[in-house]
């Protein structure tokens, strides 16, 4: 059995046994194909520390914009992106070991060190302007207001929001969503979010299953269809410009605002982790900078008072 055959088996394993999304499987396929093509490995034994190191050197020199005419086309792949390849390769090597194939131990592959993650944040004033940007009682404005309110109330990822169906129970203050790794978590609806979603649904006269659909011109049935994450990103960007926000604003920025709002108001990190659907607490710890100001205030108020 060739390495390509084993790669196909591994991808099937990811989708069926591990329950990974189709998009994740496609990404892993692309990463592994690129490694196999570069290393010319034909069998598991051909994956060696040397071949992986050579591949990493090659990746590190690749342009982040292949074929681009942009001025910054010499920019190389970010280390975080390079790590995606290594994570896929380690998972593949673990699969090979479980199947009894002799190959490189996955523990031999260390990920590249990346700098602290930078959060794109907007101020509470900017958030207020953004939330107020969809004006009017037309279908599009009602839909976009519902999208904004639902994002800020739940901290949903854009893919999770786009996957929602319209049969949500607005009499309840909570709903279940299926997130990364097919894991289900509970999120909570604010009164503003419920009110906005209800107003939007009351306006709809179609039978489309999706909660958020393209309104289209004149909103005929043929214009229906579930909004894609890219469409929602464009919607948020348009309202950010309308609200006079010069920073880059995406659905994920609203997710950041959701998390920081909770922490600033006293929520603990574990609770925020559960609400965001983070598998690991270290992912949530990127938000701990929010508590820094509070800690400074505590230090200023209580430290060194006995000294003169």
Residues 14 and 162 in one domain: no
CATH number for the domain spanning 46: value is: 1.10.150.130
The answer to whether residues 138 and 213 touch, using CB atoms and an 8 Å cutoff, is no
Options 65, 99, 129, 180, the catalytic residue = 180
Question: Is 307 noted as a catalytic residue in this protein?
Answer: no
Phi/psi region, residue 100 (left: phi>0; alpha: psi -120 to 50; beta: rest), is left
pTM metric for this prediction: 0.67
The predicted structure's pLDDT at residue 179: 85
At 118 the pLDDT is 61
Task: Mark whether 129 and 275 lie in a shared domain.
Answer: yes
Residue 157: active-site member: yes
For residue 287, tell me if it sits in a domain: yes
Q: Which helix (H) or strand (E) holds 55?
A: helix 49-60
Based on the domain organization, do 104 and 191 belong to the same domain? Answer: no
The model's pLDDT over 182-207, given as tens digits with 9 standing for 90+, comes to 788 999 999 999 999 999 999 998 88
- How many Å apart are CA 48 and CA 51, to the nearest integer? 5
| Known active-site residue 166 | no
Range 183-205 burial, b when 16+ CB lie within 10 A, else e:
eeeebebeebbbebbeebeebbe
The number of domains in the chain is: 2
C-beta separation of 54 from 40 below 8 A = no
> Is 78 in the same domain as 39?
yes
| Co-location of 139 and 270 in the same domain | yes
Assess whether 32 and 181 both reside in one domain. no
The one catalytic residue in 7, 56, 143, 278 is 278
| 87 to 24, 80, 111, 112, 306: CA distances (angstroms) | 12, 10, 8, 11, 53
Please give the C-alpha separations between residue 63 and each of 36, 39, 291, in angstroms, as whole numbers: 19, 19, 38
153 and 281 share one domain? yes
Residues 96 and 160 in one domain: no
Identify the segments of the chain with pLDDT beneath 50: 70-73, 218-223
> Please, which residues have CB within 8 angstroms of residue 171's CB and are 6 or more apart in sequence?
none
Give the pLDDT confidence score for residue 85 in this predicted structure: 95
- DSSP character for 65? S
The neighbour count for residue 268, using CB atoms within 10 Å, is: 9
288 with 142, same domain: the answer is: yes
Whether residue 226 lies in the annotated active site:
no
**Based on the domain organization, do 47 and 187 belong to the same domain?**
no
Residue 113 lies inside a defined structural domain of this protein: no
CA distance 116 to 135: 38
Residue 301 lies in a domain: no
Residue in 28, 200, 239, 287 annotated catalytic: 287
Bridge partners for 186 per DSSP: 176
Write down the pLDDT at residue 285.
Answer: 82
**Catalytic status, residue 294:** no
Which residue(s) pair with 76 in the sheet? 63
Q: Are residues 280 and 141 in the same domain?
A: yes
Q: Determine which one of 255, 270, 293, 305 is catalytic.
A: 255
Looking at residue 187, its pLDDT comes to 93
Domain endpoint, select from 108, 133, 161: 108
Provide the pLDDT for residue 223. 43
Residues 169 and 209 in one domain: yes
**Whether residue 239 lies in the annotated active site:** no
Q: Quick one: pLDDT at residue 224?
A: 54
pLDDT number for residue 65 = 61
> Residues 157, 194, 239, 256: which is the catalytic one?
157
Q: Find the domain containing 259 and state its range.
A: 124-296
Task: Say what the pLDDT of residue 301 is.
Answer: 75
């Amino acid at each position: 059995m060739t390495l390509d055959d084993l790669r196909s088996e591994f991808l099937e394993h990811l989708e069926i046994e591990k329950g990974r999304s189709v998009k994740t499987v496609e990404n892993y396929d692309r990463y592994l194909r690129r490694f196999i093509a570069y290393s010319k490995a034909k069998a598991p034994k051909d994956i060696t520390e040397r071949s992986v190191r050579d591949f990493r050197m090659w990746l590190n020199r690749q342009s982040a914009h292949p074929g681009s005419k942009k001025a910054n086309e010499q920019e190389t792949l970010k280390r975080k992106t390079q790590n995606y390849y290594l994570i896929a390769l380690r998972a593949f090597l673990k699969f090979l070991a479980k199947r009894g194939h002799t190959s490189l131990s996955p523990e031999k592959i260390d990920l590249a060190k990346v700098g602290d993650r930078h959060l794109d944040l907007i101020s509470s004033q900017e958030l207020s302007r953004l939330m107020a940007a969809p004006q009017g009682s037309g279908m599009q404005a009602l839909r976009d207001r519902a999208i904004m309110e639902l994002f800020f109330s739940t901290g949903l990822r854009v893919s999770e929001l786009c996957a929602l169906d319209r049969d949500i129970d607005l009499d309840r203050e909570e709903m279940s969503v299926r997130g990364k790794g097919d894991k289900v978590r509970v999120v909570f609806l604010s009164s503003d979010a419920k009110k906005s979603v209800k107003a939007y649904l009351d306006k709809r006269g179609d039978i489309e299953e999706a909660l958020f659909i393209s309104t289209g011109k004149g909103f005929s049935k043929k214009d229906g269809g579930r909004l894609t994450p890219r469409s929602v990103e464009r919607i948020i960007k348009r309202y950010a410009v309308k609200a006079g926000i010069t920073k880059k604003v995406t659905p994920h920025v609203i997710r950041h605002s959701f998390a920081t709002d909770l922490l600033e108001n006293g929520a603990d990190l574990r609770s925020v982790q559960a609400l965001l659907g983070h598998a690991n607490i270290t992912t949530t710890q990127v938000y701990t900078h929010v508590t820094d100001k509070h800690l400074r205030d505590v230090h200023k108020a209580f430290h060194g008072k006995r000294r003169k």
